[in-house]
Amino acid sequence: MERFRKNEYVLDILASIMFFTRIPVTWSKFSDETPDLARASWAFTLVGFTIGLLSGLIGDIFLILGLTPLLSCIIAVAFSIFITGALHEDGLADAADGLGGEGSSEKITEIMNDSRLGTYGVIALLFGLSMRIGVIISLVELGYSLVAVLSIGFASGKLAILYTRAFFNPSDLANLGNSLGSIPTKNLVIATAIWGIPILIFFPILGSLLGVVFVSFLIYFGGLKSEQKLGGITGDILGAIAFLGEIMFLLAVLLLAPGVV
């Protein structure tokens, strides 16, 4: 245990697991310092793969047992929501409620911090989850495993968080800057490499490149909209971009998949 306390890479992975999942981690056993998410950011995509691996394995097991692709995908997605505590789903709903209305930056922030769900949030969640399941099941029916689809999807969402934070500053009205500081360039490169290697193995190059284009547009316009409305990005904005980035990347792969017109 003592050697783990001195290993920064282990601490970074544990900090990322604590931030993105409900997987219990007794941080005090590993470090006396506060988790440094900016330093740990290189491991974000690694944790995304882990979430997808666990969720995808459950879905693939149900497929092997004879359950329909639709129900297997729903179970896998439901499990991913359970182990993450609906972190990004909550961000999507809050961002939709806040950005869907009008008012000052303070008013929008107040709406986004309200635990109650509004009409825009409900609609965003309904369409978001429907699109996510629809894209996933379409890829499964083309022969991709749930493990590959969910792992790469969740990792793509986590990478979108890093690039959004790298190119846009936090809003003065948000506490984001206290939890996720500036992303070191080295960490961005490592996280991208961790994400990119499985992509080259499992997904077609053209579809993956189109996915990068889709997610890049999402990051640009999402960050720009947040700057206009809030003066910068917030945790909810990052959660929404992670959720939508996952879907948009997988959608691009699906659009250029063999046999899809």
Question: Sign of dihedral through CA atoms 144, 13, 25, 159?
Answer: negative
Give the confidence band of 101 by pLDDT, cuts at 50, 70, 90: confident
Checking if the pLDDT of 23 tops 60, the result is: yes
The label of the residue with tokens 């506490």 reads 175
Residue-wise pLDDT for 63-87, tens only, equals: 999 999 999 999 999 999 999 999 9
Give the confidence band of 28 by pLDDT, cuts at 50, 70, 90: confident
**Cα 233 to chain centroid, rounded:** 15
In a domain, 16, yes or no: no
Mean pLDDT of all residues in the chain? Answer: 91
C-alpha angle with apex 190: 50 to 88, nearest 5 degrees?
Answer: 45
Residue 156's pLDDT is what?
98
In a domain, 117, yes or no: yes
Give the confidence band of 261 by pLDDT, cuts at 50, 70, 90: very low
Residue-wise pLDDT for 125-170, tens only, equals: 999 999 999 999 999 999 999 999 999 999 999 999 999 999 999 9
In a domain, 181, yes or no: yes
Tokens of 21: 């999942």
In a domain, 7, yes or no: no
Residue 176's pLDDT is what?
60
Checking if the pLDDT of 171 tops 50, the result is: yes
In a domain, 37, yes or no: no
Structural domain span for residue 141: 47-255
Residue 236's pLDDT is what?
94
Backbone angles phi, psi at 162, to 5 degrees: -65, -45
- The dihedral over CA atoms of 133, 245, 18, 11, expressed in degrees to the nearest 10, equals 130
Q: How far is CA 167 from CA 145, 164, 217, 240, in A?
A: 33, 5, 13, 16
**186 CB-contact burial (10 Å; exposed 0-12 / middle 13-18 / buried 19+):** exposed
In a domain, 165, yes or no: yes
Checking if the pLDDT of 175 tops 80, the result is: no
Residue 6's pLDDT is what?
62
In a domain, 23, yes or no: no
Q: Which residue has the higher pLDDT, 56 or 6?
A: 56
Checking if the pLDDT of 179 tops 80, the result is: no
How many domains does the chain contain in total?
Answer: 1
In a domain, 19, yes or no: no
Residue 111's pLDDT is what?
87
Residue 151's pLDDT is what?
97
Checking if the pLDDT of 32 tops 90, the result is: no
Q: Work out the average pLDDT over 37-56.
A: 96
Q: pTM for the whole thing? A: 0.93
